[in-house]
């Protein structure tokens, strides 16, 4: 993993918006608001031997307010800047400092996200009154903290082979589970360009609240009623191609838009954990798809809800489909890798004989009444051991970092004005 990844991830979680559309709005003159009689650059907070100025408080707060992201309240900004100083002190004591080439790489990568060269990006900042040193210092701090945590805790964070086996649900142990939110947006050939643009916009939002609001407004999945929030899922229950994508996310990060049949999906990671109970993999998934006219119209969904109340198992669908055209009912038994991604995603949420009515076919004209019949267990591997090991390591490094920061706070002398 590149050293600059911590900087990029921090920016994505802090202000995940396209650079160009908002840059001119963000980089506006600000009016610092120190207490009466205080200079703009006088101390607002003392953290051990270091200070946080009124300038820094005001700039951070206005920046977050302009973006409309969480954490822009006065107390939240204060606590964030206190944490910044504590991290800097720990890194200074350890002699950790980012290499100039790594800092430049970080600037290059962030500028590229806005289709800018580094020179253009820094010139825009300079024209708005923000010194290049401010940008370089911020990037250097993120890189240094990542280096510091890794050098101090990596040997403790690396999982053993037995722990990887347990996380993968092998050897009779536990497993790895993920907590996600989802947005599933239906598309037709006519609406595809608009939905793609909307999905790209949603992929840049910051925070769980913003993603949940988008899910409530745009998602067609049943989870829209809960802000798109899913329950804990075994990583092995997700489509094989999606597993490394999810394991590669940091908490709060959103996938790029994923193309599905008749829909575009986005997922946000909210948590990852190891569990003691097994999370088996499956060699075969038995499921049924009954195609109902009307798509996801109110009438179509009402008929699907009525059908759901009148059947108990997949076998009951044969009686429902009797006398109807061939193809109205499909009963399929397939390996996870053979199942279409959108179907696999819905099946991952279901227990045996449960139903999903999220999907459509025929350009949205047919509602898919999807029912999980059964799963056949298998001990084979779909998820890469490397992916699981990296996810476990990252999870533990984050826990060590949080614990260390709490200890630094407890030991610090902090005086606020």
C-beta neighbour count of 417 within 10 angstroms:
14
Does residue 354 surpass a pLDDT of 50? yes
Taking the C-alpha atoms of residue 185 and residue 201, their distance in angstroms, rounded to an integer, is 13
More confident: 73 or 22: 73
Largest CA distance in the chain: 86
Q: What is the mean pLDDT of residues 17-41?
A: 48
Band (pLDDT 50/70/90 cuts) for residue 13 is very low
Distance of alpha carbon 368 from alpha carbon 186, whole angstroms: 13
> How far from 320 is each of 291, 325, 343, CA to CA, in Å?
11, 12, 21
Q: Please give the structure tokens belonging to residue 302.
A: 């009402």
Report the pLDDT value the prediction gives residue 281, as an integer from 0 to 100: 66
What global pTM score does this model have? 0.51
Task: Give the pLDDT of residue 161.
Answer: 81
Distance of CA 181 to the CA centre of its chain: 8
What is the distance between the alpha carbons of residues 236 and 229, in angstroms, rounded to a whole number?
19
- Please report, for residues 198, 232, 239, 305, 391, the alpha-carbon distance to residue 168 in angstroms, rounded to integers and kept in the order given: 35, 15, 14, 36, 12
pLDDT at 196 over 50: yes
As a whole number of angstroms, the distance between CA 175 and CA 272 comes to: 11
The residues facing 377 across adjacent strands are 282
pLDDT band at 268, cuts 50/70/90?
Answer: very high
The whole-number pLDDT of residue 17 equals: 35
User: According to the per-residue pLDDT averaged within each range, which of 1-15, 118-132, 218-232, 392-406 is highest?
Assistant: 218-232
Quickly tell me which residue has 């920046």 as its tokens: 63
Q: Which domains does the chain have, with CATH numbers?
A: 5-157 (1.10.4030.10), 167-279+386-394 (3.10.50.40), 281-378 (3.10.50)
375 close to 352: Cβ distance less than 8 angstroms: yes
Provide the pLDDT confidence category of residue 341 given band limits of 50, 70 and 90.
confident
Report the distance separating Cα 412 and Cα 417, nearest Å: 16
Q: What is the pLDDT of residue 37?
A: 55
Mean pLDDT, rounded, of the chain: 81
Q: Cβ(248)–Cβ(238) under 8 Å?
A: no
How confident is the model over 13-26, as a mean pLDDT?
A: 37
Q: Strand (E) positions, 199-309?
A: 233-234, 258-260, 263-275, 281-293
Q: Is 48 left (phi over 0), alpha (psi -120 to 50) or beta?
A: left
């Amino acid at each position: 993993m590149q050293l600059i990844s911590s900087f990029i991830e921090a920016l994505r979680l802090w202000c995940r918006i396209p650079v160009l559309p908002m840059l001119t709005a963000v980089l506006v003159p600000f009016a610092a608001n120190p207490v009466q009689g205080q200079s703009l650059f006088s101390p607002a907070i003392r953290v051990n031997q270091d200070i946080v100025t009124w300038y820094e408080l005001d700039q951070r707060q206005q920046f977050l307010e302009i973006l409309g992201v969480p954490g822009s309240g006065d107390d939240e900004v204060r606590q964030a800047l206190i944490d910044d100083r504590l991290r800097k002190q720990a890194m200074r004591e350890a002699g950790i400092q980012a290499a100039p080439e790594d800092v430049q790489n970080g600037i290059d990568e962030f500028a590229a996200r806005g289709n800018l060269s580094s020179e253009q990006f820094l010139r825009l900042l300079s024209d708005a009154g923000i010194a290049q040193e401010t940008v370089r210092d911020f990037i250097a701090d993120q890189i240094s903290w990542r280096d510091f945590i890794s050098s101090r805790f990596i040997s403790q964070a690396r999982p053993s082979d037995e722990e990887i086996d347990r996380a993968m649900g092998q050897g009779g142990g536990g497993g790895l589970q993920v907590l996600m939110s989802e947005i599933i947006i239906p598309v037709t050939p006519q609406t595809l360009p608009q939905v793609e643009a909307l999905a790209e916009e949603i992929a840049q939002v910051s925070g769980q609240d913003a993603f949940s609001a988008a899910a409530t407004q745009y998602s067609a999945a049943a989870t829209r009623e809960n802000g798109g929030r899913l329950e804990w899922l075994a990583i092995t229950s997700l489509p094989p191609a999606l597993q490394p994508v999810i394991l590669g996310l940091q908490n709060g990060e959103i996938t790029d838009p994923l193309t599905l049949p008749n829909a575009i999906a986005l997922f946000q990671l909210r948590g990852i954990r190891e569990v003691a109970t097994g999370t088996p993999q499956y060699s075969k998934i038995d499921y049924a798809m009954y195609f109902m006219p009307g798509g996801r119209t109110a009438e179509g969904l009402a008929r699907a809800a009525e059908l759901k109340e009148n059947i108990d198992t997949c076998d009951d669908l044969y009686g429902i489909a009797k006398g109807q055209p061939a193809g109205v009912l499909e009963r399929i038994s397939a390996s996870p890798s053979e199942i279409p991604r959108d179907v696999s995603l819905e099946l991952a949420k279901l227990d045996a004989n449960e139903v999903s009515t999220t999907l459509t076919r025929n350009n949205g004209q047919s509602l898919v009444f999807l029912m999980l019949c059964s799963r056949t267990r298998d001990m084979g591997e779909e998820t890469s051991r490397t992916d699981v090991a990296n996810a476990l390591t990252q999870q533990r490094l984050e826990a060590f970092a949080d614990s260390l920061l709490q200890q630094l706070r407890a030991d610090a002398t902090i005086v606020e004005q």
